[in-house]
């Protein structure tokens, strides 16, 4: 009887928590907020923050377990622009979901997405044009980083020696000036695309440690005309308007 009572209490608590989770919107007009940071500050753990298309000039710190989701309201991902100073987006709470953004313009020595917490899900983002790291992990465990395009940064992804048990899968790393990937921890790499993968090589060694991607892919080239040796990769990045923030 006692166990039934405790189970009922737990179920009731879960039901109440689920009922209290809110959906918050961010956008230029007709939304709850025009600033992503303000939305995060007012959110509760478990809330979902939907960010509509636009360019948000902010350095956002996410300190709650929320879903931060970019919505293609104008057929374009929302752009988070770090203004060339600091990290564009910093995750300091555990169990955050981040998806559907263009993340750019982090400052020197900083990252487009800086992860300083555990068990987060980073997926389906374009991380580009950051002065140092596209994505960085420090003392950060058991994150899943998947389906992202990480290009045109100094380093694509940088993982320190204190970060273990992370899964980096099905991302694309290309045109990063120094290294596509550096990992000094113990992490799992699988089925990522690397533009510096040598032809005929069946595994890709990750710089900085002993990690290896045993199922790497090369980028898919588009052959133009009848010249099989003339190939191009086309990456289309559209920067939407309006610009939000200062």
76 pLDDT band, cuts 50/70/90, is confident
Q: Say yes or no to pLDDT of 35 above 80.
A: yes
73 pLDDT band, cuts 50/70/90, is confident
The set of residues, in sequence order, having a beta carbon less than 8 Å from that of 152 and lying 6+ positions away, is 128, 129, 175, 176
Q: What's the confidence (pLDDT) of residue 48?
A: 98
Q: List the structure tokens of 44.
A: 């509760």
Say whether 18 sits in a helix, a strand or coil.
Answer: helix
Query: Where is average pLDDT lowest: 13-22, 146-155, 236-245?
Result: 236-245
Q: What's the confidence (pLDDT) of residue 227?
A: 44
The set of residues, in sequence order, having a beta carbon less than 8 Å from that of 86 and lying 6+ positions away, is 59, 106, 107, 110
Signed CA dihedral, 31, 35, 41, 44: sign only: positive
Q: What's the confidence (pLDDT) of residue 72?
A: 85
In this prediction, what percent of the chain has a pLDDT beyond 70? 82
What is 23-245's CATH number, 2.160.20.10, 2.60.40.10, 3.40.50.300, 3.40.1350.10? 2.160.20.10
Query: Where is average pLDDT lowest: 25-34, 70-79, 152-161?
Result: 70-79
7 pLDDT band, cuts 50/70/90, is low
Q: What is the DSSP string of 52-103?
A: -SSEEE--EEE-S--EEEE--TTSS--EEE-TTSS-SEEE-SSS-EEES-EE
| pLDDT (tens digit per residue) in 217-226 | 999 865 444 4
CA distance 143 to 86: 22
Domain ranges of the chain: 23-245
The rounded mean pLDDT for the chain is 87
Q: What's the confidence (pLDDT) of residue 1?
A: 53
């Amino acid at each position: 009887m006692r166990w039934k009572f405790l189970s009922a209490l737990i179920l009731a608590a879960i039901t109440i928590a689920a009922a209290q989770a809110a959906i918050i919107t961010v956008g230029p007009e007709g939304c709850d907020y025009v600033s992503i940071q303000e939305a995060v500050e007012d959110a509760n753990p478990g809330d979902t923050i939907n960010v509509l298309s636009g360019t948000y000039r902010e350095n956002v710190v996410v300190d709650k377990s929320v879903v931060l989701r970019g919505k293609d309201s104008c057929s374009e991902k929302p752009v988070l622009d770090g203004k060339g100073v600091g990290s564009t987006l910093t995750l300091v709470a555990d169990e955050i979901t981040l998806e559907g953004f263009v993340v750019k313009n982090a400052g020197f020595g900083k990252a487009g997405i800086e992860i300083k917490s555990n068990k987060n899900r980073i997926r389906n983002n374009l991380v580009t044009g950051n002065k140092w790291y596209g994505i960085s992990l420090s003392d950060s465990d058991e994150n899943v980083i998947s389906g992202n395009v990480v290009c045109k940064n100094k380093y694509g992804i940088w993982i320190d020696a204190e970060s273990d048990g992370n899964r980096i899968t099905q991302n694309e790393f290309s045109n990063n000036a120094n290294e596509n990937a550096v990992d000094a921890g113990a992490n799992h790499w699988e089925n990522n695309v690397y533009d510096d993968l040598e032809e005929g090589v069946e595994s890709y060694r990750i710089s900085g440690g002993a990690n290896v991607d045993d199922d790497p892919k090369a980028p898919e080239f588009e052959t133009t005309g009848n010249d099989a040796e003339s190939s191009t990769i086309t990456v289309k990045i559209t920067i939407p308007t309006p610009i939000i923030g200062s």
